[in-house]
Amino acid sequence: MTVQKVGVVGCGLMGHGIAQVAAQAGCQVTVLEADAGALEKGLGRINKSLGKLVQKEKISQADADKAFGHITGTGEVKDLADCDLVVEAIVENLDVKNALFKDLGALCKAETIFASNTSSFPVSEMGAASGRPERMVGLHFFNPVQLMKLVEVVRTPATSDEVFAEAKAFGEACGKVPVAASDTPGFVVNRLLVPYLAEAIRMVERGDSTPADVDAGMTLGCGYPMGPFTLLDYVGLDTTMFILEGWVEKYPNESLFEVPALLRQKVQEGKLGRKTGEGFFKWEGDKRA
C-alpha cells in the first residue's frame, strides 16, 4: 500500500471509526469536520474505543497511544491538499457530497485518491464532480467500523485499475475483508438491508407487530446480532431516511424504496436513534436503555 497520508471528512458515527482504523494501520490521518463539537465528540469516541481494545488486550497501550497520536482534527479543507487518499463520510446528501468533491478536485495533489463511504449514492457522480473520475472509488465501511469486518470497494466504469487496487489494499490494511461491488443503488449489502429495514417499519405501521417483537423474531429466530429496529437506531433514522429519499428520487417506480411515514415522523421529532438518545428505543450512550 502506498497510501500514507489519509484525510477523513466527517467525524460522526462512521468518520471517527474510519479515522481510527486508518491510524491503527499506521497512516497519518487528518479529520476534517464542519462542526467543532462533533469533532471533539468523535475524537473522544476514538479515545474510548482504543481504551476498550487495550482493556480487552487486543492492542497494547503503546499501540493505542501511537494510533491516537497519528490523528489530527481540522476545520479547514485546505489541510487535505497533500493527502494520498481522502475518504468522505459526511451527511448522506448527494449535492453536499458533490460540492465537497468539487472542492477537493480543485485543491488536492494530482495523485490523491478520492473515496466515498456513501451508503447509497452513485460514486460515479461524485467522481464527475471531482473532475477526476478515474481517481474516484467507493469505500463503504460498516457500522461500527472498529468491529465490522467488511468493506465494499465500489468501482465505477471510470475507476482506474491502480486506484481500485490501492483502495482494496487500504481496506485490507485497516483489517477489513474487501468485496468488489458495482456502482448500483446500495451496492451489495444495502440493496438487501435497507428494503428489509423499511419493511420492518411498515409491519409496525400496519399494526402487525411491535418493534420489540420484530427484533425478538429476527434475533432469536434468525440469529441476527441485532433486530431491525435496534439496527435502525444504531445506523441513524436520518441516514436511513436520506438513503430511501435519494432512491425514491432516482428510481420512482421501485416500490421497495418507499419512505415509511413512521420513519419520517421519527426524524421530524428529532428521534434519530442512538445518536440522539432515542429512536424506536431509548439509548444510554452506545447501549439500549
Catalytic residues, by residue number, are 119, 140, 152, 190
CB 262 within 8 A of CB 216: no
Size of the site for ligand CAA (CB under 6 A): 17
- Between 148 and 165, whose beta carbon lies closer to ligand CAA? 148
Residue 154 engages ligand NAD in binding (rule: CB under 6 A): no
CB 143 within 8 A of CB 231: no
With CB under 5 to 8 Å by kind, the binding choice for 231 among ligand NAD, ligand CAA, none is ligand CAA
User: What is the separation of C-alpha 191 from the centre of its chain, rounded to a whole number of angstroms?
Assistant: 15
With CB under 5 to 8 Å by kind, the binding choice for 146 among ligand NAD, ligand CAA, none is ligand CAA
Helical H runs in the chain? Answer: 15-24, 36-55, 61-69, 94-107, 123-130, 161-173, 189-205, 211-222, 228-235, 237-250, 261-268
Residue 91, all three cell numbers: 451527511
Residue 9 engages ligand NAD in binding (rule: CB under 6 A): yes
Residues facing 152 on adjacent strands? 140, 179
The only residue of 90, 194, 244, 263 in contact with ligand NAD, by rule CB under 6 A? 90
Size of the site for ligand NAD (CB under 6 A): 27
Residue 144 engages ligand CAA in binding (rule: CB under 6 A): yes
CB 92 within 8 A of CB 239: yes
- Between 11 and 27, whose beta carbon lies closer to ligand NAD? 11
**What residue ranges bind ligand NAD (CB under 6 A)?**
9-15, 32-35, 38, 89-92, 96, 100, 117-119, 142-143, 235-236, 239, 275
